[in-house]
Copies of this chain bind each other. A is one copy, B any other.
């Protein structure tokens, strides 16, 4: 008998979501977390605390072992250095075009350091606009200043 893998649990979640006709927003609300974090944890890009892991497996009717897997520290892997999907590529392009600008402004506002991608959160919202609705992405990460020793 083989143990459940992360990939198995991700498949189970996607399959249960489809059958139950749920949305990520709905699942996120059911477990009391944000949609961004909920989706990324379901995809194996974040580990779940015990109570959230149990909540999602109960919400979706998954086996108990799945809750254990969801609490493990995942190895985050993406295989395309440059993503090809147009929706994801546009984000990569923004980093290429505006990355040096963000760095310069962080330096101006904070000093020599970075925005953490670990102590970090994000939201995606829809903003109505008469010229065409807009996608709004808000990221917030702790400023970390370089150490001198």
Contacts and interface: CB of A to CB of B under 8 A. Distances in A.
A30 interface: no
A148 B88 CA distance: 20
Contact of A135 (B33, B49, B110): B110
- Interface residues of chain A: helix, strand, loop or mixed (majority): mixed
A39 B14 CA distance: 27
Interface in A49-97: 49, 52, 68, 73, 75-78, 80-97
Contacts of A109: 124-126, 135
Contacts of A82: 81-82
A47 B102 contact: no
Contact of A105 (B106, B124, B140): B124
Contacts of A87: 102-103, 106, 113-115
Contacts of A117: 86, 90-91, 93-94, 97
B88 A110 contact: no
Contacts of A127: 140
A62 to B, nearest CB: 15
6 contacts: A33-B148, A76-B97, A78-B84, A91-B95, A119-B132, A132-B143
Given A39-B104, A81-B82, 8 more contacts: A77-B84, A77-B85, A87-B113, A91-B115, A102-B137, A106-B135, A126-B143, A138-B139
